[in-house]
Chain A
Amino acid sequence: MRRAAVSTLLWAYAAVALLPLLIMVWNSFRTDQELVVEPLGLPHSPSLDAYREAWVEASFSTYFLNSVLVTTLSVLLSTAVSLLAAYALARSRSRLMAVIEQVFVSGLMMPVFLMIVPIFYLLDTIGLASTRTGLILVYSAVSIPFSVFVLATFLRQLPVDLEDAARIDGAGPLRTFWSVLLPLVRPAVATVVVFRFVPIWNDFFYPLILVRDRARYTLPVGLTTFFGEYQTSWSTLFAGLVIATLPLVVLFLVATRQIVAGLTAGMGR
């Protein structure tokens, strides 16, 4: 292929993919006045007013903290229980375990629309309606199929010799798990953490339906009320979108390799 043409193509699409996101960032540093007068302009005198307004007046500080809390605890809880379960599944030869694993993995095709109404009533019954705890439990549960699948697959590839050695030295199953396996599964845990963090952070459907109390809103639901109330305060809206995206950008920078490898895992056949 002709190199110059290929280069042009690659850079052109890079612009298509990135320009809207760049406009989002630089418009958040401009004022509404500038946006109307000069829709295509760059920030002349960058201003943080939009961020101040979004963070303080539009309660983004609340939404942000809720999102951090809910996402972090959901990922921690689901990874912890999935790791224990994956260890049991990978190191057991019982027929019962194989059946249980099938049940877990079938959850990969979970019909969220079908489950949401019963979950809503369930949380109501157990007194967790409209709470962050309820949201965390639901997110942890729906994360289990993916996390167990990835972790069990990884554990099966690990040689059992080290565990044997630990057992011969007199370590119990919990001790073996904690001091022998845990250090070894770190790469798989990193993949699971990153790949559950992103969808839970971005999720909009569950909190939209399960959380009715504004003080408990996560960022995506917060965004919807915000877009209703600040319709004409455009730079504030841009700032809100940037705030909702920023933690993911940090995550990409830290974990680019895991993300690219994880998204394409098993696709190379």
Chain B
Amino acid sequence: MNRRRTAALPTPVALLFLLPAAALFAVFVLYPMATALTYSLFSWRGTAQDAFVGPANFVALFTTEPYATQLPRAFGHNALLFAGAMVVQNSVGLLLAYALHHRGRLRRLFQVLYTMPYLVSPLVVGYLWSLLLSPLFGPVNAALRAVGLDAVARPWLGDPDTALWVVVLVTAWQWVGFPLLVYGAALGALDPAIEEAAMLDGASSRQRFWHVTLPLLMPVIGTVSVLTFIFSMEAFPIPYALGGSSGSPAGATDVMSLLFYRTAFHSGASNAIGISSAVAIVLFVVIVGISVLFTQWFRRVERRLT
């Protein structure tokens, strides 16, 4: 059969087909992106662009208050969101995906149940947990009291010591459905003959998991980890729902996106646009930089394993 691309479109016709998407993309994505890059290099007086200041906005971001305190603190909280999600998805998530894989019956049902929280709006998830953890009528405290753990019950979101952990756990609770599903698909794509061969060689189920299945899953774990990182760095609706735009109590749940949002739209500072653009660029550079470094590092580890 002739597989040559005989149906090729003449370029003028192709450009015509391309036009609507290209126009929309140029106006509402490319143009804002290009201008945004310059915003951080100017000082601003409200909405009016003032003078070219070079890196001054970045210097101000790292050396003047409140940014010098809030930026590292918010970044640390994002890192904790990432760590929490990684721990949960690579322990509970991986274990559940593995258990589900060795189980034909009801697999689809469990997959759907586990993915539910991931598919619900993160803002709804955040508000839902703020209600569940309410000190007035919250079912969580009520359940703790019902089993005699009165001492554990507390205003979870009002206490700076627990509020951040609530954000971390709620975020992980919602996110884990995604890694679970992906790990499940990756396990399904593995050749069953490999595991059978290990079984015939007398490997125990634990040995088979650690020495056969896990190394084969590594590429997928790496890919998912990068996505988890990007997601954790951009986390916005859950922290917003649980701690408001100021990251209450006392900034305990502040994250980068909230810092950006406050600086750009609620700070009232005349140079709000200059500083907030610097925040956005720092965030973007961190996301892209670490994602690339992580991917390269992971490829090297992977090569050593196989």
Please determine whether A269 and B121 come into contact, CB atoms closer than 8 angstroms.
no
CB distance from A80 to the nearest CB of B (A): 8
- CB contacts (< 8 Å) of B137 on chain A: these are 35-36, 39, 234
Question: Which residues of chain A in 73-129 are interfacial with respect to chain B, using CB atoms and an 8 Å cutoff?
Answer: 80-82, 84-85, 87-89, 91-94, 96-97, 100, 103-104, 107, 109-119, 121-122
Chain B residue nearest to A36 in the complex (CB): B137
Which of A43-51, A52-60, A137-145, A182-190 lies at the binding interface? A137-145
A10: Cβ under 8 A from any B Cβ: yes
Please determine whether B114 and A13 come into contact, CB atoms closer than 8 angstroms.
yes
- CB contacts (< 8 Å) of A260 on chain B: these are 108, 111-112, 115, 181
- CB contacts (< 8 Å) of A237 on chain B: these are 127, 131
Docked complex Cα distance between A205 and B265 (Å): 12
Docked complex Cα distance between A143 and B26 (Å): 13
Question: What is the 8 Å Cβ interface bit string for chain A, positions 213-255, against chain B (1 contact, 0 not)?
Answer: 0000000100110010000001001100100110010001000
Please determine whether B7 and A167 come into contact, CB atoms closer than 8 angstroms.
yes
- CB contacts (< 8 Å) of A1 on chain B: these are 99, 102, 205
User: CB < 8 Å: which of B37, B47, B103, B115 contacts A121?
Assistant: B47
User: CB < 8 Å: which of A39, A96, A119 contacts B139?
Assistant: A39
Please determine whether B121 and A244 come into contact, CB atoms closer than 8 angstroms.
yes
CB distance from A123 to the nearest CB of B (A): 9
A148: Cβ under 8 A from any B Cβ: yes
Docked complex Cα distance between A121 and B27 (Å): 12
Question: What is the 8 Å Cβ interface bit string for chain B, positions 113-146, against chain A (1 contact, 0 not)?
Answer: 1111101111110011111101011110111001
Docked complex Cα distance between A89 and B184 (Å): 33
Please determine whether A263 and B181 come into contact, CB atoms closer than 8 angstroms.
yes
Docked complex Cα distance between A97 and B136 (Å): 60
- CB contacts (< 8 Å) of B30 on chain A: these are 103
Question: Which residues of chain A in 23-42 are interfacial with respect to chain B, using CB atoms and an 8 Å cutoff?
Answer: 23-24, 27, 35-36, 39-40
Which of B60-68, B76-84, B272-280 lies at the binding interface? B272-280
A170: Cβ under 8 A from any B Cβ: no
Please determine whether A118 and B96 come into contact, CB atoms closer than 8 angstroms.
no
Docked complex Cα distance between A82 and B71 (Å): 38
B35: Cβ under 8 A from any A Cβ: yes
With A10-B100, A114-B280, A267-B186 already in contact, the answer to whether A161 and B119 are too (CB < 8 A) is: no
Docked complex Cα distance between A70 and B223 (Å): 32
CB distance from A241 to the nearest CB of B (A): 5
What range describes how many residues of B lie at the interface?
35 or more
Docked complex Cα distance between A197 and B60 (Å): 40
Docked complex Cα distance between A116 and B272 (Å): 14
User: CB < 8 Å: which of A40, A138, A159, A238 contacts B142?
Assistant: A40
Please determine whether A245 and B220 come into contact, CB atoms closer than 8 angstroms.
no
Please determine whether B132 and A9 come into contact, CB atoms closer than 8 angstroms.
no
Please determine whether A18 and B113 come into contact, CB atoms closer than 8 angstroms.
yes
Chain A residue nearest to B4 in the complex (CB): A160
- CB contacts (< 8 Å) of B173 on chain A: these are 16-17
Interface core residue of A27, A39, A94, A159 (most chain B CB under 10 Å): A39
- CB contacts (< 8 Å) of B6 on chain A: these are 160, 164
- CB contacts (< 8 Å) of B185 on chain A: these are 264, 267-268
B215: Cβ under 8 A from any A Cβ: no
Which of B10-18, B159-167, B193-201, B293-301 lies at the binding interface? B10-18
Question: What is the 8 Å Cβ interface bit string for chain B, positions 277-298, against chain A (1 contact, 0 not)?
Answer: 1011101100110000000000
Please determine whether B13 and A269 come into contact, CB atoms closer than 8 angstroms.
no
A201: Cβ under 8 A from any B Cβ: yes
Docked complex Cα distance between A196 and B128 (Å): 24
Please determine whether A23 and B181 come into contact, CB atoms closer than 8 angstroms.
no
Docked complex Cα distance between A138 and B108 (Å): 36
Docked complex Cα distance between A209 and B52 (Å): 26
Please determine whether A122 and B7 come into contact, CB atoms closer than 8 angstroms.
no
CB distance from B224 to the nearest CB of A (A): 8
Docked complex Cα distance between A260 and B111 (Å): 8
A14: Cβ under 8 A from any B Cβ: yes
Please determine whether A88 and B123 come into contact, CB atoms closer than 8 angstroms.
no
User: CB < 8 Å: which of B1, B146, B265, B276 contacts A161?
Assistant: B1
A202: Cβ under 8 A from any B Cβ: yes
Question: What is the 8 Å Cβ interface bit string for chain A, positions 161-174, against chain B (1 contact, 0 not)?
Answer: 10110010000010
Docked complex Cα distance between A89 and B17 (Å): 9
Question: What is the 8 Å Cβ interface bit string for chain B, positions 1-34, against chain A (1 contact, 0 not)?
Answer: 1010111110101111110111011011111110
Question: What is the 8 Å Cβ interface bit string for chain A, positions 3-14, against chain B (1 contact, 0 not)?
Answer: 000100110011
B240: Cβ under 8 A from any A Cβ: yes
Please determine whether B288 and A245 come into contact, CB atoms closer than 8 angstroms.
no
Interface core residue of A84, A92, A223 (most chain B CB under 10 Å): A92
With A173-B17, A260-B111 already in contact, the answer to whether A204 and B9 are too (CB < 8 A) is: no
Given contacts A18-B116, A21-B128, A91-B9, 6 further A-B contacts (CB under 8 A): A10-B103, A91-B14, A117-B277, A119-B32, A122-B32, A220-B123
Shortest 5 CB-CB contacts between residues of A and residues of B: A268-B189, A264-B185, A141-B28, A39-B142, A118-B32
A-B CB contact pairs (8 Å), 20 listed: A10-B96, A23-B139, A88-B9, A88-B13, A91-B9, A94-B14, A97-B14, A114-B33, A114-B277, A118-B35, A202-B122, A209-B265, A223-B124, A227-B241, A234-B131, A238-B131, A244-B121, A245-B120, A248-B119, A264-B186
